[in-house]
Structure 1
Amino acid sequence: MEHEVFGDSYEQGRQYVDILASRGVDWGLIGPREVDRLWSRHVLNSVAIEQLINHGSSVLDVGSGAGLPGIPLAILRPDLTVTLLEPLLRRANFLTEVVDELGLAERVSVVRGRAEDQDQTYQVVTCRAVAALPKLLTWCLPLVAPHGQLLAIKGESAEQELIDVQGTLRKRRLTGQVLSVAAHTDAEPTWVVRIR
């Protein structure tokens, strides 16, 4: 399945998974129990949203952590320019090392900082397992370019979280929807809240 999804980029994807399984665990970015599920639960889960991203988009991955979803998206989609935003120094250092090792530095940059301190805008802002939607909107909406979108990868609470922010969305004249997307027909679906 991973071969089918990543095609020519599979080796690069495998190298990233190997880094997560070794250094990612050593640095405390990935739990040891997650190693057997890195492809299914983390990488394929991350790239499921690529079908929602227009060709040539600039992408900001807020609270990138171990690089999810930003690095898998950059590996799968050479047309994207990706910025990994991470406030913690240790994680930012990890991301910088990984981007260099995978040869992604031309299209992927690492910025150490918090979303609320950024002033640039992007066509797509992504986040995965960062915070509840009300907080995410406060941090991320200022970073979404006009006609851009926020893609928040969520768990099964996605519907309820979207209901909780309806007032905010109406005030800002934005629309939100919960989508179920999958990287492959045999992959588990990913729940994503899309705000436009």
Structure 2
Amino acid sequence: MVKIGVLGLQGAVREHVRSIEASGAEAVVIKKIEQLNDVDGLVLPGGESTTMRKLIDQYGFMEPLQEFIAAGNPIFGTCAGLILLAKRIQGNDNAHLQALNVTVERNSFGRQRESFEAALNIKGFDEPFTGVFIRAPHIVEAGEGVDVLAEHNGRIVAVQEGSFLGCSFHPELTEDHRIMEYFVEMVKSSLAVKNG
């Protein structure tokens, strides 16, 4: 069974654990750097990206996360996790992990009270997926090599680039686990390549 970590510093950790387990993988809440050695993929959950970055710095996670990325391990960023993963943040020179070749704009769908749900047509899915948008970012620009998986009102809200998956919304807040199942398959494919 594949093991998928959820960075457990802040945000919707429990909900992601539930979704990973519902998708047939083992979930590990990552609170210590050395736990990264035990997982095959990683979820960066939604939360508050500035707070998460402070905690990443405080607990010395930045370099180990960059090493995890450099080793080709799959990473899935949702909402704030997408912001952490992005190469560029609009209006901010200091992007975080600078892994996923996109430019994101924070809080582009409004504040907390303007949260909403929308039916999204996601590439490769037969039925629409309900996206839960809470102070969500959106992808202003998808760079070379990035596959756009979903848009909402002309804004890019889900992408994949190689072993990186990112979405603006919160798939873990629904009972529909298809996006997490998609990520679990990405992790399995990555392992198959590594194990040759």
TM-score with structure 2 setting the length = 0.35
TM-score with structure 1 setting the length = 0.35
Higher strand share: 2
